[in-house]
Amino acid sequence: MDGFAFGVVLAVLASLIIATNILVAVALFRLIQKNGCTGLYFVFNLAVADFLVGITITGLVTDELSTHSHPPPKMFCILRMAFIISPSAASILTMIMVTFDRYLAIKQPFQYFRIMSSLVVGACIVGLWLAACFIGFLPVIVQGFQQTYEGKCTFFGVFRPTYMLTIFCIGFFPALFIFIYLYCDILKIASLHVQHIREVAQVGLSGNSPLPHNTSDMKAVRTVAILIGCFVLSWSPFFIASIVKTVCQKCLPYDVIERYLWLLGLCNSLLNPLIYAYWQKEVRLQIYQLCLCVKRKVFPLFHMESGPQVPSRGPAPIRAISHPQFQE
């Protein structure tokens, strides 16, 4: 893949990441206004982090598509890469918080709202962004992570492979371990809930069983599982190849890691909003209502601009769709 083709692919991917995350962020913001659920703030922060990933990679798009031959200065390139890594790290850390939030809601349902107050959620979000910025700007602080600059603004063009190994040790591997541990515990708790429902149903008290609550818990478990699976499939090849590159400099070419495998990792920022838009019925319903509102505002403009129309009795009323009908 040459530079121009890579720039086109990166531009399309950045546009999709920005558009989908804006749509999901608006839907989540409306849900937060209606429900006031503190757990949705983490999902909203995930959409914001992925949106910033799409914004930051647009600078690389301009470099790949431009025809000028003057490379950017070294410090400018280092800062650009730091601004790309920081929201990516924030996205990974936010997924950990989303998983922990669902874990706490299932494990401690009665103490959940007392523990996860607005102050605690805000502190967690501020803390994870500080940690993400520290990971992204670590090469600026530690000069030993900087590579001899040869005029190519890429990860391995300005960063040593040891920096990727450091990110793997302090970021990817702990996140993967936490994901696996929390999800295994969530599965165990969810299986106990299902067993409890069956026991209650056998004694004829199924009407008093917490079936709707546990049904939502199982849906949350499914969404978390899909998030974890997409995260592992997206970022594992990039980090594994970076570790191999650290050990053996000649085993893999830089272009394979920086173009194909890194693009696969960026796809995770596109998959996250698509997962919530498809699997979470509340988010899906909000997106549908947003599209309906846009349709109501846009189509009258088209009718006004199209000139005189055939007389009619007026527009047909839009029938309201209930939540159960939308699910069907």
Per residue in 141-179, pLDDT tens?
888 888 887 777 788 888 888 888 888 888 788 888 888
The answer to the question of residue 311 being in a domain is no
The kind and range of the H/E element at 250 are: none
The answer to the question of residue 34 being in a domain is yes
The answer to the question of residue 310 being in a domain is no
**Widest Cα–Cα separation across the chain:** 78
| Bridge partners of residue 159, in order along the sequence | 146
Residue 9 CA to residue 263 CA, distance in Å, equals 9
CA atoms within 13 A on the CB side of 294: 7
Measuring CA to CA, which residue among 116, 137, 228 is closest to residue 178?
228
| Tokens of residue 251, six digits | 């085993």
| Tokens of residue 4, six digits | 């121009």
The answer to the question of residue 212 being in a domain is no
Residue 235 CA to residue 134 CA, distance in Å, equals 20
Residue 125 CA to residue 132 CA, distance in Å, equals 11
Measuring CA to CA, which residue among 157, 278, 273, 173 is closest to residue 219?
278
Torsion, Cα 7 8 9 13, to 10 degrees, reads 100
Residue 42 CA to residue 24 CA, distance in Å, equals 13
pLDDT reported for residue 18: 94
pLDDT reported for residue 231: 86
- Per the structure, how many domains does the chain have? 1
- What tens digit of pLDDT does each residue of 45-71 get? 999 999 999 999 988 888 777 766 577
The residue type of 119 is L
Instruction: Classify 180 as helix, strand or coil.
Output: helix
- Tell me the residue range of the domain where 28 lies: 3-199+218-297
Residue 59 CA to residue 10 CA, distance in Å, equals 10
Residue 267 CA to residue 25 CA, distance in Å, equals 18
State the average pLDDT over residues 183-202.
74
The answer to the question of residue 302 being in a domain is no
- What tens digit of pLDDT does each residue of 266-325 get? 999 999 888 877 777 788 888 888 888 877 777 665 545 444 444 444 444 444 444 444
Phi, then psi, of 159 in degrees rounded to 5: -115, 145
The answer to the question of residue 325 being in a domain is no
- What tens digit of pLDDT does each residue of 201-224 get? 666 554 444 444 555 556 666 777
The residue type of 188 is K
Residue 85 CA to residue 143 CA, distance in Å, equals 17
The answer to the question of residue 318 being in a domain is no
The answer to the question of residue 270 being in a domain is yes
Residue 230 belongs to domain with CATH number: 1.20.1070.10
Residue 46 CA to residue 253 CA, distance in Å, equals 32
Q: How far is CA 179 from the centre of its chain?
A: 15
